[in-house]
Chain A
Amino acid sequence: MELLVASAIGAMTAGGIYLMLRLRTFPVILGIAMLTYAVNVFLFASGRLTVGSAPVLREGVTNYADPLPQALALTAIVISFGMTAVVVMIALGSYLGSNDDHVNDPAEPDAEDRT
Chain B
Amino acid sequence: MSLFLIVALPFLGALLPGLMNSAGRAACAGVTFTITLIAFVGLLTNLPAVLAGELVTAGVPWLPGLGLNVTFMLDGLGFFFACLILGIGLLIITYARYYLAREDNMGEFFTYLLLFQGAMVGIVMSDNILLLLIFWELTSLSSFLLIGYWKHLPAGRQGARMALAVTGMGGLAMIGGMMILGNIVGSFELSVILQNKELIQASPLYLPALILILLGCFTKSAQFPFHFWLPHAMAAPTPVSAYLHSATMVKAGIFLMARMWSVLSGTPEWFILVTSAGLITMVLGAVIALFKHDLKALLAFSTVSHLGLITMLLGTGTAFGAMAAMFHILNHATFKAALFMAAGIVDHETKTRDIRILGGLRTLMPITFAITTLGALSMAGIPLLNGFLSKEMMLEEANRTALFNAPWLVPALATIGSLFSAAYCFRLIGHTFLGPVRESYPAKPHDPSIGLWGPPALLMIPVIAIGIAPFLAEPFVKLVTASVLGGEAEVPKAYFKIWHGLVPALYMSIVAVVGGLLLMIIYKPLQAGWDAVPRPEAKTIFDALVRAITSAARGFTHGLHNGAFTRYGAIFTLAVVGAGYYAYASGTVLPTTRAMSPIEIVPAAGWAMLVAATIGLMLLHRNRLMSLIMVSIVGLIVSVGFVYFSAPDLAMTQLTVDVVTLVLLLLALNFLPNRTPVESSAVLRLRDGAVAAIGGLAATAMAYHYLMRDAVETPISAFHVANSYKGGGGTNVVNVILVDFRGFDTYGEIIVLGIAALLIYALTETLLNGPVRARLLNRKPDQARAGDMHPMMMVVLTRVMMPVVLMVGFYIFLRGHNEPGGGFIAGLVVSIAVVMQYMASGLAWANARIRYPYHGVIGTGVLVAGLCGIGSWLVAKPFMTTDFTYVRIPPFNEFELATALVFDLGVFLTVVGAVMLSLESFSRLARRAHVPDTDYPMDIDPSRDDPPEPPAPQPNLKEGV
With contacts A9-B699, A27-B676 taken as known, whether A4 is within 8 angstroms of B646 at the C-beta atoms is no
- Contacting pair B772 A18 (CB below 8 A): no
- Contacting pair B628 A52 (CB below 8 A): no
Smallest Cβ-Cβ distance to B667: which chain A residue: A88
Tell me the complex Cα distance, A38–B703, Å: 10
Smallest Cβ-Cβ distance to B645: which chain A residue: A49
- From residue 648 to 701 of chain B, which have CB atoms closer than 8 A to chain A? 648-650, 653-654, 657, 660-661, 664-665, 668-669, 671-673, 676-677, 679-680, 688-689, 691-693, 695-701
Comparing B31-39, B277-285, B403-411, B563-571, the segment that makes contact with chain A is: B563-571
- Contacting pair B564 A104 (CB below 8 A): yes
A84 to chain B, nearest CB (A): 6
With contacts A74-B824, A77-B653, A95-B672 taken as known, whether A13 is within 8 angstroms of B699 at the C-beta atoms is yes
Specify which of A48, A80, A103, A106 lies most central, judged by the most chain B CB atoms within 10 Å of its CB.
A48
- From residue 744 to 770 of chain B, which have CB atoms closer than 8 A to chain A? 745-746, 749, 752-753, 756-757, 759-760, 763-764, 766-767, 770
Tell me the complex Cα distance, A12–B695, Å: 10
- Contacting pair A56 B733 (CB below 8 A): yes
Contacts of A38 in B (CB 8 A): 699
Contacts of A105 in B (CB 8 A): 562-565
Tell me the complex Cα distance, A12–B614, Å: 7
Smallest Cβ-Cβ distance to A97: which chain B residue: B772
- Contacting pair B738 A22 (CB below 8 A): no
- Contacting pair B753 A88 (CB below 8 A): no
Return the contact of B669 from the options A21, A26, A49, A86 (Cβ within 8 A). Answer: A26
With contacts A1-B603, A78-B657, A82-B756 taken as known, whether A108 is within 8 angstroms of B558 at the C-beta atoms is yes
Contacts of B562 in A (CB 8 A): 105, 108
Interface string of A59-98 (1 = CB under 8 A from B): 0000011111011011101111111111011111101110
Comparing B121-129, B707-715, B780-788, the segment that makes contact with chain A is: B707-715
- Contacting pair B715 A68 (CB below 8 A): yes
B164 within 8 A of A: no
Specify which of B645, B679, B918 lies most central, judged by the most chain A CB atoms within 10 Å of its CB.
B645
Tell me the complex Cα distance, A52–B644, Å: 7
With contacts A6-B700, A92-B672 taken as known, whether A12 is within 8 angstroms of B610 at the C-beta atoms is yes
Return the contact of A84 from the options B661, B733, B770, B921 (Cβ within 8 A). Answer: B661
- Contacting pair A18 B692 (CB below 8 A): yes
Tell me the complex Cα distance, A21–B621, Å: 12
Contacts of A115 in B (CB 8 A): 554
Tell me the complex Cα distance, A89–B689, Å: 28
- Contacting pair A54 B604 (CB below 8 A): no
- Contacting pair A48 B689 (CB below 8 A): no
- Contacting pair A96 B668 (CB below 8 A): no
- Contacting pair B563 A11 (CB below 8 A): no
- Contacting pair A51 B645 (CB below 8 A): yes
With contacts A70-B647, A82-B757, A83-B756 taken as known, whether A75 is within 8 angstroms of B745 at the C-beta atoms is yes
- Contacting pair B720 A68 (CB below 8 A): yes
Contacts of A67 in B (CB 8 A): 717, 720-721, 724, 733-734, 737
- Contacting pair B566 A103 (CB below 8 A): yes
With contacts A8-B611, A30-B628 taken as known, whether A2 is within 8 angstroms of B696 at the C-beta atoms is no
B906 to chain A, nearest CB (A): 14
- Contacting pair B647 A17 (CB below 8 A): no
- Contacting pair A55 B650 (CB below 8 A): no
Contacts of B598 in A (CB 8 A): 1
Interface string of A17-47 (1 = CB under 8 A from B): 1111111111101100110011011101111
Smallest Cβ-Cβ distance to A107: which chain B residue: B563
Contacts of B650 in A (CB 8 A): 44, 70, 73-74, 77
B491 within 8 A of A: no
Tell me the complex Cα distance, A86–B628, Å: 18
B922 within 8 A of A: yes
Tell me the complex Cα distance, A8–B615, Å: 12
- Contacting pair A79 B696 (CB below 8 A): no
Contacts of B624 in A (CB 8 A): 26-27
Comparing B295-303, B368-376, B527-535, B631-639, the segment that makes contact with chain A is: B631-639
Tell me the complex Cα distance, A59–B148, Å: 76
- Contacting pair B763 A90 (CB below 8 A): yes
Specify which of A8, A20, A115 lies most central, judged by the most chain B CB atoms within 10 Å of its CB.
A8
- Contacting pair B646 A1 (CB below 8 A): no
B288 within 8 A of A: no
Smallest Cβ-Cβ distance to A69: which chain B residue: B717
B889 within 8 A of A: no
- Contacting pair B664 A84 (CB below 8 A): yes
B599 within 8 A of A: yes
- Contacting pair A10 B776 (CB below 8 A): no
Smallest Cβ-Cβ distance to B624: which chain A residue: A26
Smallest Cβ-Cβ distance to B738: which chain A residue: A71
B918 to chain A, nearest CB (A): 4
Return the contact of A34 from the options B607, B617, B922 (Cβ within 8 A). Answer: B617
| Residue total for A at the interface (Cβ-Cβ under 8 A) | 88
Tell me the complex Cα distance, A63–B7, Å: 64
With contacts A8-B607, A9-B703 taken as known, whether A96 is within 8 angstroms of B647 at the C-beta atoms is no
Return the contact of A3 from the options B596, B691, B824 (Cβ within 8 A). Answer: B596
Tell me the complex Cα distance, A101–B668, Å: 12
B515 within 8 A of A: no
- Contacting pair A71 B657 (CB below 8 A): no
- Contacting pair B646 A50 (CB below 8 A): yes
Contacts of A86 in B (CB 8 A): 756, 759-760
Return the contact of A96 from the options B596, B614, B701, B772 (Cβ within 8 A). Answer: B772
Smallest Cβ-Cβ distance to A102: which chain B residue: B679
Smallest Cβ-Cβ distance to A75: which chain B residue: B749
Tell me the complex Cα distance, A82–B761, Å: 12
Specify which of A1, A42, A51 lies most central, judged by the most chain B CB atoms within 10 Å of its CB.
A1
Contacts of B635 in A (CB 8 A): 37
Contacts of B669 in A (CB 8 A): 26
Contacts of B680 in A (CB 8 A): 22-23
Contacts of B745 in A (CB 8 A): 75
Tell me the complex Cα distance, A85–B757, Å: 8
B597 within 8 A of A: yes
Tell me the complex Cα distance, A83–B715, Å: 29
Contacts of A96 in B (CB 8 A): 671, 767, 772, 775-776, 925
- Contacting pair B693 A14 (CB below 8 A): yes
Tell me the complex Cα distance, A83–B680, Å: 27
- Contacting pair B596 A2 (CB below 8 A): yes
Tell me the complex Cα distance, A55–B628, Å: 33
- Contacting pair A21 B725 (CB below 8 A): no
Return the contact of B554 from the options A1, A107, A111 (Cβ within 8 A). Answer: A111
- Residues on A facing B (Cβ under 8 Å): 1-15, 17-27, 29-30, 33-34, 37-38, 40-42, 44-58, 64-68, 70-71, 73-75, 77-86, 88-93, 95-97, 101, 103-108, 111, 115
Closest 8 CB pairs of A and B: A14-B696, A105-B563, A10-B700, A82-B756, A6-B704, A18-B692, A67-B733, A65-B646
Ordered by A's residue number, 27 sampled pairs between the chains whose C-beta atoms are within 8 Å are: A3-B599, A5-B641, A8-B607, A12-B610, A14-B692, A15-B692, A17-B696, A18-B689, A21-B566, A22-B688, A26-B669, A33-B661, A37-B638, A41-B641, A45-B706, A46-B706, A56-B731, A56-B732, A57-B724, A67-B721, A71-B734, A85-B757, A88-B668, A90-B763, A91-B668, A92-B668, A108-B563
- Residues on B facing A (Cβ under 8 Å): 554-555, 558, 562-567, 569-570, 573, 594, 596-600, 603-604, 607, 610-611, 614-615, 617-618, 621, 624, 627-628, 631, 634-635, 638, 641-642, 644-650, 653-654, 657, 660-661, 664-665, 668-669, 671-673, 676-677, 679-680, 688-689, 691-693, 695-704, 706-708, 710-711, 715-717, 720-721, 724-725, 731-734, 737-738, 742, 745-746, 749, 752-753, 756-757, 759-760, 763-764, 766-767, 770-772, 775-776, 818-820, 824, 828, 911, 914-915, 918, 921-922, 925
Q: Given contacts A22-B566, A86-B756, A111-B555, could you give 20 more A-B pairs where the C-beta distance is less than 8 Å? A: A1-B600, A8-B641, A9-B700, A11-B611, A13-B698, A24-B676, A27-B627, A37-B635, A48-B594, A54-B820, A57-B731, A57-B732, A64-B646, A71-B742, A74-B734, A81-B657, A82-B918, A93-B763, A95-B671, A105-B565
